[in-house]
Structure 1
Amino acid sequence: MKLTVLFISISLMLTALISSCEKADDPTNPIVLIGEVGEAGWISQQLGWDLFREVIKDHPGENVIISPLSVQIALTMALNGADAKTKAEMLALLHCPDCSAEKLNKDLAELQDWLQNKSGHPTFNINNSIFYDQNRVMLHDEYLEKLTGSYALQKEVLNFSDPSAKDKINNRVKQQTQGRIDKIVEEIKPLDLAFLINVLYFKSDWAKGFDERMTRDLDFRLSDGSSISVPFVMGDRDFLTARTDELEMVDLPFRDSTFSLSLIRHRNPDPSVNAWAQEIDSDKLSELYSLLKEDRALVHFPRFAMSFDVKLPDVLKRLGMVDAFSEVDANFEPMGRSLIGDGIFISQVNHAATLEVDEKGAEGAAVTSVGFSTTSLPPSFTFDSPFVLNLRHIPTNTVIFAGLVEDPSED
């Protein structure tokens, strides 16, 4: 039996996770009901931290940055073309086994509209595309119409036998990420049929910037116990902070306060950063967000630029999405029909993300194919050892980026 291949490419610059909880009167409470995003926010949180734990387990000692929202969008687009057990496993991965594809499409369409058009100052762009060779695959009109209606899908027919086809896809990704990511497709093989690509791009200034004159070199303790000297951004003013017995957080809002970057560290850091980072989940973050209060604090965090790419099939298989990658068991009949083989399966899910944080703000991109009289001193929050970050949309608590900073000196 001759099998053909469907690639899912995901291009991301930021990640987003949301929660559809009731709005609180407390202005520091970031979780509010917004729009008709339905299950999309809750799914993003569960999938996002599932992915985060698995990825950092596979990459000990490395800086990690992913965009859960990008992966969620790409996989949901693919799910529209799945059936039977293949579809059931993908719904289970999304923590919504009883959801219909139509419901997921509606929720994500609303969420994408909120993030791009109703969230004020930040530059936030989401682009969804499918590149395919019509001599290799016939995609059903119904499948393409669903994705066009819910995801503003851009369709482009290419000759995959032409060596320039790969460059056309990568050039589109480079353009949509403002040059932050220049490649997501490494090669196009003779049995490759299509590439589904989601691209996210985010850029915003802080609500209150940090004085570059206060930036100074300080020691950052690495997981192996050694130290390096890196530039630290510093601020002494009112910040949103929270502490539990185990963790502490600084939540840094961007200019219009609809997005923020949360920095989270263990209060008793030791070399086993991966152990406590593995335990981060939506419940722990919700507890920290519920404790946020605004008061004077001394905040120090390293200036950093992170780039990360990962192949996700093994991670997704461990999380229960198995049949989609099987040459024998995959069922993507609702998507279309191969013209050069007997079936369609997913052979790759590639993800790349970047995030840069400095005194002015943050810029990130992600791609998925198939990413904070005299008085006593105020409390100090110094992120001088490995820490977790969560870049989010405050009104919906959507996670745009989730990451682990092991070494801020690496680019």
Structure 2
Amino acid sequence: MDLRESITNQNDVAFSIANHLLSKHSGNNNIVFSPLSLHIVLSIIAAGSKGPTRDQILSFLRSKSTDNLNSFASQLVSVVLADATPAGGPRLSFADGVWVDHSLSLNPSFKQLVNNDYKAVLASVDFQTKAVEVSKEVNSWAEKETNGLIKEVLPAGSVDGSTRLIFANAIYFKGAWTEKFDAQMTKDHNFHLLDGSSVKAPFMVSKKKQLISAFDGFKVLGLPYKQGEDKRQFSMYLLLPDATDGLSALVEKVSSERSFLERKLPRQKVEVGDFRIPKFKISFGLETSIVLKELGMVLPFEGGDLTEMVDSSVSQNLYVSSIYHKSFIEVNEEGTEAAAASAMTIKLRSIQFPTKIDFVADHPFLFLIREDLTGTVLYIGQVLNPLAN
């Protein structure tokens, strides 16, 4: 399976999770998460399992084999997620970690895989008498890998004497806009909430041409980040429904139609009329096993098949107790800083462009950060209230 097909499958899974997650957190909850971070953690679990559990994870991740998942992860880490600052592009950090109780030894083939394909840090620890210390160690690791943005991926009490393995993943992104916004032009305007009320929020404005495409019921804005000397191009996309309360229907549409995003991305710059997007900052965390179980991924959490990870008879009793995920994003005039850490259709016809097009993001919208050369989606989120952190 080639990288592009794997990425298309991964993005379909990402929007399926996003649809479920965003529908659960309606109201005034802003959300950001990294589907890529979750994908990597699940891929490692798949590599360490067999039987029905492995089959269920493969089916969920829309992959034919663990070999495909491992190869995909290896390509992502080396191609898409390599730091771009040496070439003048965005700063990227991507790291995996595995903490194993000292009473267990990793299966040599699994250890080699985790080392080589996932470039993971491996640590032997004492969960049975030093669970709190191990939890602090994992949190310190995540904080370091996300430039201090994710301080506690594992909440208090999540690790105890019965814990035997922890898989963690951290991703950090900081990019400057190709064309920065003038902070002196930022002004407060009304942002309309789903309950019918509104809040005054700071909006960035511009009169420059923008990458915008318009369709029946929604518009898409592309904001490219400054590109380095390599070929990668990272961008933020805002998907804005026409209706103030149209976000849930738009998310449903994005997630139900395969490769929907690819066909809707703006390809050319247009003259803008009224152009306003809010500044926002979001910190969001969740225990993702609940979401995954509701989407049909139940076997990893029941145990019995995680036998490819360790050389021990206790492997029959291992199960995934929880997968914690935390993300952070800040969008302002300069660009975007984002981080995440994980521990365990209707055809639409395009509307003809008027001479000028408005893009006023003054009501709930979907956003994502994407690497455009490969199509990899790093983050997905929703802004329901730009003032709520």
**TM-score, normalised relative to structure 2:** 0.89
Paired residues for 1:208-357 under 5 Å = 208-256=179-227, 258-267=233-242, 269-271=243-245, 273-281=247-255, 283-289=259-265, 291-297=266-272, 298-327=274-303, 330-337=304-311, 343-357=317-331
CA RMSD of aligned residues (A): 1.9
Residues in 1 aligned to 2:184 and 2:248: alpha-carbon distance in whole angstroms: 33
SS, match of residue 346 in structure 1: coil
Aligned: 1:43 with 2:9: yes
SS, match of residue 387 in structure 2: coil
Matched AA of 1:365: A
Unaligned residue ranges in structure 1 (runs of 5+)? 1-19, 21-35, 371-375
Structure-2 change in CA distance of 1:53 and 1:212 (3 Å)? same
Deviation at 1:114, TM superposition (A): 1.5
Deviation at 1:107, TM superposition (A): 2.0
1:159 alignment counterpart = 126
1:54 alignment counterpart = 20
SS, match of residue 348 in structure 1: coil
Identity of aligned residues (%): 24
SS, match of residue 164 in structure 2: strand
CA contact 1:138–1:339 (8 Å) conserved in 2: no
2:81 alignment counterpart = 116
Unaligned residue ranges in structure 2 (runs of 5+)? 345-353
What is the number of equivalent residue pairs in this alignment? 365
Runs of 4+ off more than 4 Å:
337-342
Residues in 2 aligned to 1:342 and 1:265: alpha-carbon distance in whole angstroms: 48
Query: Which protein is richer in strand relative to its size?
Result: 1
Query: Which protein is richer in helix relative to its size?
Result: 2
Deviation at 1:306, TM superposition (A): 0.5
CA contact 1:223–1:272 (8 Å) conserved in 2: no
CA contact 1:355–1:362 (8 Å) conserved in 2: yes
Please point out which of 52, 56, 63 is paired with 1:85: 52
SS, match of residue 50 in structure 1: helix
Residues in 1 aligned to 2:15 and 2:43: alpha-carbon distance in whole angstroms: 17
Residues in 1 aligned to 2:319 and 2:83: alpha-carbon distance in whole angstroms: 37
- The higher-RCO structure (CA 8 Å, 6+ apart) is 1
CA contact 2:12–2:259 (8 Å) conserved in 1: no
C-alpha deviations, 1:70-98, integer Å up to 9, x for none? 111111011100100000000010012xx
CA contact 2:306–2:315 (8 Å) conserved in 1: no
Residues in 2 aligned to 1:146 and 1:392: alpha-carbon distance in whole angstroms: 27
CA contact 1:115–1:124 (8 Å) conserved in 2: no
Deviation at 1:399, TM superposition (A): 0.5
1:11 alignment counterpart = none
**TM-score, normalised relative to structure 1:** 0.85
Residues in 2 aligned to 1:229 and 1:403: alpha-carbon distance in whole angstroms: 21
CA contact 2:99–2:165 (8 Å) conserved in 1: yes
Structure-2 change in CA distance of 1:118 and 1:128 (3 Å)? closer
1:390 alignment counterpart = 368
Residues in 2 aligned to 1:223 and 1:176: alpha-carbon distance in whole angstroms: 35
Aligned: 1:146 with 2:146: no
